[in-house]
Amino acid sequence: MIKVAPSILSADFAKLGHEIADVVQGGADWIHIDVMDGHFVPNITMGPLVVEAVRPLTALPLDVHLMIEQPEKYIQDFVKSGADVITVHQEACPHLHRTVHQIKEAGVKAGVAINPATPVEMIKEILADVDLVLFMTVNPGFGGQSFISSVLSKIKTCSKWAEERGLNSLFIEVDGGVNRKTAALCRQAGANVLVAGSAVFGTDNRREAIDSIRGSSL
């Protein structure tokens, strides 16, 4: 089953509650929340307060993507705010194994993300320890960028590893430039969670956008 996770980065923040209700109604599976610190990436977005504000609005899992330095410092805050999945960047974690286990011990699912230029081998050793791997198909920092298709071969390699090692419940997530066309390529490569910001919030018909990304409207 393919999950679609609309990224609220592209939502209208002045009416965030309404925007979330709209994608929930439109069939979203998870809500993706992009946290940026102006250091790891060249943009500043939201923090635990926004996660806390979103939490009572939906029963869907809140998928928190930390694009921040020293993410280990903030895990407790995001868990308390109501995150269900916390994903950290491999590039931001010199002690990735420790950080991943800190997330799991805090009682939520743990993910690891890699940037487009990071080889897939960088997550090979941690694969059995995580619930989710996130492949960035844009350089993180902003919504609305173009999909970098060379990342597809990394997704294929990772889904092959997962299959060989019997990691059947691993979530393989793709984030950046996902629209109905690129979503099909991601699904073919083995991805099972598709994040979409502008492709969902940039259109009025959220259900149609979500269905087309999931591939269920084909």
- In the set 22, 29, 34, 63, which binds ligand DX5 (CB under 6 A)? 34
Q: Of ligand DX5, Zn ion, none, which one does residue 178 interact with (CB within 5 to 8 Å by kind)?
A: ligand DX5
140 counts as binding ligand DX5 under rule CB under 6 A:
yes
In the chain, alpha helices (H)? 16-25, 48-54, 75-81, 96-105, 152-164, 180-189, 198-201, 206-214
d(CA 50, CA 34): 10
- Tokens representing 79 are 């868990």
Radius of gyration of the chain (CA): 16
Q: How far is CA 62 from the centre of its chain?
A: 10
195 counts as binding ligand DX5 under rule CB under 6 A:
yes
Residue of 34, 37, 63, 131 marked catalytic: 34
Please say if 63 is a catalytic residue: no
Provide φ and ψ at 98, rounded to 5°. -65, -45
Q: Are 69 and 47 in contact (CB under 8 A)?
A: no
Q: Of Zn ion, ligand DX5, none, which one does residue 66 interact with (CB within 5 to 8 Å by kind)?
A: none
Residues that bind Zn ion (CB under 5 A): 34, 65, 175
Question: What is the closest distance, in whole angstroms, from the C-beta atom of residue 207 to Zn ion in the complex?
Answer: 22
Binding part of the chain for ligand DX5, among 18-26, 71-79, 189-197, 207-215 by CB under 6 A, reads 189-197
Strand 109-114's sheet: what is its strand order? 3-6, 193-196, 171-175, 132-136, 109-114, 85-89, 62-67, 31-36
Please say if 12 is a catalytic residue: no
- In the set 79, 123, 199, 210, which binds ligand DX5 (CB under 6 A)? 199
Q: Of Zn ion, ligand DX5, none, which one does residue 145 interact with (CB within 5 to 8 Å by kind)?
A: ligand DX5
6 counts as binding ligand DX5 under rule CB under 6 A:
no
Residue 115 identity: N
d(CA 165, CA 168): 8
Question: What is the closest distance, in whole angstroms, from the C-beta atom of residue 75 to ligand DX5 in the complex?
Answer: 18
Asked whether residue 176 is marked as a ligand-binding residue, the answer is yes
Q: Which residues are annotated as a binding site for substrate?
A: 7, 65, 141-144, 175-177, 197-198
- The binding site for ligand DX5 (CB under 6 A) comprises 7, 9-10, 32, 34, 65, 138, 140-145, 175-178, 195-199
